[in-house]
Amino acid sequence: MTRSDVRPVLHLAANTSGVRPQAEGAAPPARPALLAAGLALLAALWGLPLERWMADFPAFMLRHMGLVALAAPLLVLGLPRLAGLLAINPLLAAVLEFLAVWGWHTPRLHGLARLEPWALLLEQGTFLLVGLFVWSGCLRAAQPLAGAGGLLLTSMHMTLLGALLTLAPRDLYFAFCGTLPDLSGQQLGGMMMLAIGTPVYLVAGLWLTARALQGGSTP
């Protein structure tokens, strides 16, 4: 099979998966400043003693939002080669993040992550991985409107979960975490989700929509 015979197959596979193909032999340049910012943010989120400065649940939520809504897009934009490896269908990526986020916010799994180091590592790794899937898939989608749809869906479910946490009449987690009830901490965590997750995904989704309508390409 010759090189010319392979090209249609590659393009067909890329179009079927919903991910935009890279030009043959092209290696997208890294953006060192964005990559360094993403790595520095990861180091801060995982290295700083956030629980000393705020209640446990707001500290958890700050790490969560920092991973999926801030560090993940910085890493994807800073290292396009990584994005090419992780780019999947944007709607599938949004569904995976929905399952991961809502799953780890159920009281039993959240309590497990608070009490068991292995569960905490799994939780944090899952948040980062699904964040990379979403931003890689959406920013490199073959159809920018599909990428915008994935980001806007993510914004919607982040908004819903943040509102539920903020408006809940009682602490949903203390019985599974071995702590005293802290409704105000849970409400602050919910407001953090609304203040960080909702606007980041919403603005990025609207930006992709505008670029699609103008005929521009995604990053």
How would residue 23 be classed by pLDDT, with cut points 50, 70 and 90? very low
Residue 10 belongs to a domain = no
Q: pLDDT per residue over 85-119, tens digit each?
A: 899 999 999 999 999 999 999 999 999 999 999 99
Q: What is the 3-state secondary structure (H, E, C) of the chain?
A: CCHHHHHHHHHHHHHHHCECCCCCCCCCCCCHHHHHHHHHHHHHHHHCCHHHHCCHHHHHHHHHHHHHHHHHHHHHHHCHHHHHHHCCCHHHHHHHHHHHHHHHCCHHHHHHHHHCHHHHHHHHHHHHHHHHHHHHHHHCECCHHHHHHHHHHHHHHHHHHHHHHHHCCCCCCHHHHCCCCCHHHHHHHHHHHHHHHHHHHHHHHHHHHHHHHHCCCCC
Give pTM, 2 decimals. Answer: 0.82
Note whether residue 6 is domain-resident: no
**Number of domains comprising the chain:** 1
Query: Does a structural domain hold residue 189?
Result: yes
**Is 161 among the domain residues?**
yes
123 within a domain of the structure (yes/no) = yes
For residue 205, tell me if it sits in a domain. Answer: yes
- 42-71, pLDDT tens digit by residue? 999 999 999 999 999 999 999 999 999 999
Q: Which domain holds residue 61?
A: 55-214
Asked whether residue 11 is assigned to any structural domain, the reply reads no
Question: Is 48 inside a domain boundary?
Answer: no
